[in-house]
Each structure stands twice: as C-alpha cells, then as structure tokens.
Amino acid sequence: MTTTANQPKELWEAVLGDLQMHVTRPNFETWLKNTVGIAFRDGEFVVGAPNAFVAEMLEQRMYSLISLTAERVVKGPVEVRFQVLLSEEVDAADEPEDADDQRLTEAEPTGVLHPTFNPKARLTTLNTKYTFGRFVVGKSNELAHAAAEAVSNRPGEVYSPLVLYGAVGLGKTHLMHAIGHRAVASGLSLIYATTEEFTNEYIKAIGEGRTEEFRDRYRSTDVLLLDDIQFLIGKEQTQEGFFHTFNALHMTNRQIVITSDRPVSALTLLEDRIQSRLAGGLVVDIQAPDIETRLAILRAKAETINQDVPQTVLDFLAERIHKNIRELEGSLNRVVAYADLTGSLLDVELVKRAIDGLADPDEHRAILDYVVVDTVATHYGVDQQALKGRKRDKKTAQARQMAMYLMREDGNMGLTAIGRALGGKDHTTVAYGCDRIKTQLPVDAQLRRDLLKIREALAAA
Ligand code: ADP
Ligand code: MG
C-alpha cells in the first residue's frame, strides 16, 4: 500500500510540473495541460484526459516519459492509465473524495463514461476563432473548404452528410465550426457534439430511461455536427443510437456534417450500414498543407497576434513543421513568447534555440524495412524467419501485421514493397494486415503499448 493514496490531484500536478520541463510547450499545452489526477492506489495512477484523442496520444506517444516521470515523483513503480473526462468532471476533481458519487474514483475498466445528461444545459459551443474568415485556403484543403461553403450556404440541400476526413491538426474541426457559425447566423438550430459527447449522452440517456428526450433533442435539430466519428468504433450500442438519429435527420433533409481522422473505407469496425450511409454522402479529404499554405497560415497567425515576424523566421518554421497546423501555430506562439521573455530579437538563431526539440517527429521516421523486421521480431520474441514465413499463431500473426503497419505508416512504403520485405506476401495481405492493426489500436491498449515500445526502439535504432 502506498501512503499517498488520497492525493491523486496534487501528485499528478507534481508529475506535470516535472513533465513541463521535459516536453516542448506546444506539446505540453496540447496534450498534458488539461489532464487531472483522479486516483492513485496500489501503484495504479488513473489520469483523466479531456477526450479520447488526447488519452490516446498520451498513451501512444508519451507513455514512457510519463510513466518514468510519475515513478520519479511517486518514488515507486507506477502503472499510468488514462481515462476520458468530461469538462464537468475536470472541475469535480476539486471535490473531496467522498463526493456524492463514485464517478471519479471508480474508473470503469470498460471505458464507459460518466456524463451528466442534461439536454438543456449543454449549449452548443463553437470556437469563435474557427470561422471561414480565418481559414486559409490552399491546395490541400480547397475541396473540403468548398464543400463546407456549399453546405453552409444551402444546408440540407446539397450534400448530406458531408464527411471531412484527414489527419490530426489539419483543420477538420475548424471547418466544421465554420459551418456551425454560418448556420447559427442564419437562424438554424444546431447541435455540435464530439462523438465522445454524443456517446456519453446516449449511454446516460439509456441508463436513465430518457432516450425519448435524447431522441427529440437530436432529431429536432436543423444541423448536426458530429466531430471525430472514429470514436464510435467499438461502441455498438451508440452506433445503434447514431444510426437511428442519422436516419431521422437524413429523411427530413437536415444537414449532417461529420469528421473522421481516417477515410470512410477505413472505418471498418463501424457497422456496415453506418459505413455505407457515410459513404453515400460527400466525402472529402484534407491533406497536409503545402509550403505556400503553411506560410500563409503563419502570416495570418502572426497578424492575429499582432506580431511583426521576419520572413526568414516564417520560412524556417514553415519548412520545418509540415504535417500539423496546430503544431505550426504552436511553434509561432512559442518563438514569439521566447523572444518576449528573453527580450531578444526574433530571428532564426533565436528560433533554433526556442524550438529545439520541436522538430517534426515525422522527420525522424524514415525507417528501413529490415530494421522494422528486426525490431518487431525482438519485441515480440519471435524469429525473423517466422515473420517472413507463413506461421499463423496469434503472436506471430500480430507481429507480422505490426511490421506491415509500421512500414506503411512510418516508413511510407508501398504495399508491394512491404510484401516483398516480408518474404513475398501479396499486397492484399499487407493491406489487410495494416488495416487490422489500425482498427485494433483504438480498442486495444496493449497493442498501443506494443506500438509505442516498438516505435521507441526504432527511434533508438
Ligand atoms: P483537426 O480537427 O483536423 O484535428 P483543427 O480544426 O483542430 O484540426 O485545427 C488545428 C488548428 O489549426 C486549429 O487551431 C485551426 O484553427 C488551425 N487550422 C487548421 N487549418 C487551418 C487553415 N487552413 N487556416 C488557418 N488555421 C487552420
Ligand atoms: Mg478535430
């Protein structure tokens, strides 16, 4: 037993204080700042994250650092586990442990959440900065932008559902909110919900026998914006609720907008009927921005924060950070703050110092297929030849699929090349393998940990 079982919040704050010194500020602000210590007992530290996406990122990308730091602070072995919180619960973490219910301390292993179902209380919250006016259009996002414009000019008439998909930090939520602002301005009723919130409300409504209320609320809206649909994966019950909500809105020509971090065809764990409903709408992707767009975004950003930033600095940042606009913006904030704090001139030299460690993680990801094979085989304790062979026991099969996934995701290799590197598998086998890992990751914490460990080993290789 530990002696500190009752101060999870303070302990976690100490961990955060330590972490703050070890990660870049944008990373801290984006991923760590809004986490809360919920429970710490018997070596298990339950930490609340504001949404599943953050929880997943922390688990996948920062797990080692976090658990090492936690162990240092706690002075003993710690298993850190992330759990999703709603905003009310973040506040509620201030309450004493014996607060009215057990929602905070009794973390449910199933990942079932504990929302407060109050259909009137949760007003639509749109980020006031996410407007069309502030959206910089470039080649990578012009289609998505045009579709979003079309939908907001004629909601429910042209493309419903509109599905926006693309990697993290490329502006899906921004465009979705922009549609929302327009809808509100033209007097339409609107619901914006993350898939998390939708799930929470639905499950809560079922638990309280208030599904009628839930239904009425969702089905009476003119516009439904549902963010990050990939989080419906693995939630069969909510998929049911979503399907009926979707149909009800669709039949009465309401506008539905959905975002996803992967193409609809890759949402394989969603029920077929949902997948085909989504595919039946207009599906547009957002790509990583090209250099011109990155520069334009930086320029716009510098303008909104009223800073005169030299072109060389903008160039430097735009060249260096290319896959995530949130990081791009974060880097500018960071260098501006750094110049401010140190009272120095904002130039490239300063930038180099300020963003040290903020290198685009993708830059380091150029990996070689034989290194992947070696690293994965070692991690799973299987023979390299077995990976390349036909053995189909569970461990070997998963290791093989993991190798495929890494070559594809991190190595950017083609399916055929991957097949060759793995002893001559055909490309459909490789595609299946990659897909299998991708769909299992959100629902399999052990797999996420394996992936993290292997990535770390690859980085060290
Ligand atoms: P996603 O939902 O795709 O993960 P977000 O919509 O949250 O990404 O965008 C991340 C950040 O980048 C936000 O601050 C957003 O305002 C900004 N951003 C993304 N795309 C653009 C763009 N084309 N122009 C200006 N800002 C953008
Ligand atoms: Mg988003």
pLDDT in tens, 10-27: 899 989 988 888 877 777
Quote the CA–CA distance of 348 and 242 in Å, as a whole number. 50
pLDDT for the residue 366: 57
CATH number belonging to domain 132-285: 3.40.50.300
Question: In percent, how much of the chain has pLDDT > 70?
Answer: 87
C-beta of 26 in contact with ligand 1 (< 6 A): no
C-beta of 325 in contact with ligand 1 (< 6 A): yes
pLDDT in tens, 43-62: 788 898 887 777 877 877 77
pLDDT for the residue 20: 85
Residue 153 Cα to ligand 1 midpoint, Å, equals: 21
pLDDT for the residue 452: 81
C-beta of 295 in contact with ligand 1 (< 6 A): no
pLDDT at 336 over 80: yes
Residue 326 Cα to ligand 1 midpoint, Å, equals: 6
pLDDT for the residue 431: 92
Higher pLDDT, 244 or 456: 244
Protein residue closest via CA to atom 18 of ligand 1: 171
To test the ligand 1 pocket, which listed residue (165, 170, 229) has its Cβ within 8 A of the most ligand atoms? Answer: 170
CA distances from 320 to 63, 140, 277, 424 (A): 25, 18, 39, 36
Q: What's the whole-number average pLDDT of the chain?
A: 82
C-beta of 130 in contact with ligand 1 (< 6 A): yes
pLDDT for the residue 225: 96
Protein residue closest via CA to atom 26 of ligand 1: 135
pLDDT at 238 over 80: yes
Residue 89 Cα to ligand 2 midpoint, Å, equals: 21
Q: Could you say which of 1.10.1750.10, 1.20.1340.10, 1.10.8.60, 3.90.1170.50 is the CATH number of the domain covering 369-460?
A: 1.10.1750.10
Question: In percent, how much of the chain has pLDDT > 90?
Answer: 40
- Which ligand is the nearest neighbour of the Cα of 127? 1
pLDDT in tens, 417-433: 899 999 999 999 999 99
Q: Could you say which of 3.40.50.2300, 3.30.300.180, 3.10.20.30, 3.30.70.141 is the CATH number of the domain covering 7-92?
A: 3.30.300.180
Quote the CA–CA distance of 440 and 434 in Å, as a whole number. 10
pLDDT for the residue 408: 87
pTM for the complete prediction?
0.58
Residue 168 Cα to ligand 2 midpoint, Å, equals: 7
pLDDT at 369 over 90: no
Atom nearest to 166 CA in ligand 1: 3
Quote the CA–CA distance of 224 and 155 in Å, as a whole number. 10
pLDDT in tens, 155-170: 998 898 999 999 999 9
Q: What's the rounded mean pLDDT across residues 407-418? A: 84
Atom nearest to 145 CA in ligand 1: 23
> Which residues lie near ion ligand 2 (Cβ < 5 Å)?
172-173
Higher pLDDT, 364 or 95: 364
Q: What's the rounded mean pLDDT across residues 345-352? A: 87
Q: Could you say which of 1.10.101.10, 1.10.8.60, 1.20.1630.10, 3.30.930.10 is the CATH number of the domain covering 291-359?
A: 1.10.8.60
Q: Centre a 10 Å sphere on the Cβ of residue 76 and count the other Cβ atoms it contains.
A: 11
Atom nearest to 141 CA in ligand 1: 23
What confidence category does residue 305 fall into, taking pLDDT thresholds of 50, 70 and 90?
Answer: confident
Atom nearest to 168 CA in ligand 1: 4
pLDDT at 175 over 60: yes
Higher pLDDT, 403 or 45: 403
Residue 318 Cα to ligand 1 midpoint, Å, equals: 15
pLDDT in tens, 94-119: 333 333 333 332 232 332 222 333 33
Are the folds of 7-92 and 369-460 the same?
no
pLDDT for the residue 356: 63
C-beta of 354 in contact with ligand 1 (< 6 A): no
pLDDT for the residue 12: 93
pLDDT at 210 over 90: yes
pLDDT in tens, 116-148: 333 333 444 788 889 999 999 999 999 999 999
pLDDT for the residue 269: 66
pLDDT for the residue 385: 93
Quote the CA–CA distance of 349 and 328 in Å, as a whole number. 18
Q: What's the rounded mean pLDDT across residues 434-448? A: 87
Q: Centre a 10 Å sphere on the Cβ of residue 123 and count the other Cβ atoms it contains.
A: 8
What confidence category does residue 357 fall into, taking pLDDT thresholds of 50, 70 and 90?
Answer: low
pLDDT in tens, 383-401: 999 999 998 999 999 999 9
Among 8-12, 342-346, 372-376, 456-460, name the one with the lowest average pLDDT: 456-460
Among 175-179, 259-263, 307-311, 334-338, name the one with the lowest average pLDDT: 334-338
pLDDT for the residue 8: 87
C-beta of 417 in contact with ligand 1 (< 6 A): no
Higher pLDDT, 5 or 437: 437
pLDDT for the residue 86: 52
Protein residue closest via CA to atom 14 of ligand 1: 326
The ranges assigned to domains in the chain are 7-92, 132-285, 291-359, 369-460
